């Protein structure tokens, strides 16, 4: 996978910058993976769209459980060709209601509204292993709901007890500090 050319979305105007972020390219997600994902990690991805981020996540994790309501053909083909990705054609809340697994990493890139992001974070947190990482995509101006939801769910960001990591593709990760 070429991180300089592979894009997370179809079409668009090519290079896209939003206050220093390059939201449709994978540089930042690759940095997040290098920092937080290990080869033995089991990962949940909420919102897989075409599977571009899914493919990159699967290069770092032992297994990726991808939840997507409307899987594109590229994602279906990826799942058919990779043995460490399982696709669930489902709404995230429906998947989580029946889920019995715990995850080392949860990556949220589904509904970018405030309510949708809040639900994805709050409903998935019980399935995050102790010392696990919850993270996601699109923490940029065009998706104010994501920023607001993350700050509301993790109010200790303001005090420094929780670290909010931000990456160049607009991905974010939460790290709890032991103070």
pLDDT tens digits for range 57-104: 999 999 999 999 999 999 999 999 999 999 999 999 999 999 999 999
Residue 95 lies in a domain: yes
* C-alpha–C-alpha distance, residues 72 and 47, integer Å: 11
Q: Compute the average pLDDT of residues 21-43.
A: 86
Report the predicted TM-score, pTM, of the whole model to 2 decimal places: 0.88
Residue 143 lies in a domain: yes
CATH number of the domain that 126 lies in?
3.40.50.150
Residue 8 lies in a domain: no
Q: Compute the average pLDDT of residues 44-62.
A: 95
Q: Compute the average pLDDT of residues 37-51.
A: 96
Tell me: pLDDT of 31 over 60.
yes
Nearest to 164 by CA among 135, 126, 144, 143: 135
Tell me: pLDDT of 12 over 90.
no
Residue 131 lies in a domain: yes
- Any bridge partners for residue 63, and if so which? 42
Which pLDDT does position 89 carry in this prediction? 97
Residue 13 lies in a domain: no
Which pLDDT does position 1 carry in this prediction? 55
In the sheet with 162-166, reading across from the earlier edge strand, the strands are 85-88, 63-67, 42-46, 103-108, 128-136, 172-176, 162-166
68 burial level (CB within 10 Å; 0-12, 13-18, 19+):
buried
Residue 100 lies in a domain: yes
Residue 50 lies in a domain: yes
Q: What's the domain count of the chain?
A: 1
Task: Note the pLDDT tens digit of each residue in 129-178.
Answer: 999 999 999 888 777 899 999 999 999 999 889 999 999 888 999 998 65
Residue 10 lies in a domain: no
37 compared with 16, residue with greater pLDDT: 37
* C-alpha–C-alpha distance, residues 48 and 143, integer Å: 17
Which pLDDT does position 23 carry in this prediction? 53
Nearest to 176 by CA among 143, 144, 128: 128
Residue 113's domain spans which residues?
A: 38-176
């Amino acid at each position: 996978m070429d991180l300089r050319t592979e894009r997370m979305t179809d079409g668009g105007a090519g290079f896209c910058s939003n206050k220093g972020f390059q939201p449709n390219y994978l540089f930042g997600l690759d940095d997040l993976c290098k920092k937080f994902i290990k080869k033995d990690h089991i990962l949940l991805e909420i919102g897989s769209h075409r599977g571009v981020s899914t493919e990159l996540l699967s290069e770092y994790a032992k297994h990726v459980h991808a939840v997507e309501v409307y899987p594109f053909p590229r994602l279906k083909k990826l799942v058919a060709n990779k043995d460490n990705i399982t696709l669930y054609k489902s709404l995230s809340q429906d998947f989580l209601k029946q889920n019995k697994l715990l995850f080392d990493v949860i990556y949220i890139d589904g509904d970018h509204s405030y309510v949708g992001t809040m639900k994805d974070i709050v409903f998935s947190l019980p399935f995050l292993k102790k010392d696990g990482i919850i993270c996601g995509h699109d923490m940029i101006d065009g998706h104010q709901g994501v920023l607001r939801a993350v700050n509301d769910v993790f109010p200790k960001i303001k005090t420094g007890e929780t670290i909010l990591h931000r990456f160049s593709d607009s991905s974010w990760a939460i790290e709890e500090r032991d103070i």
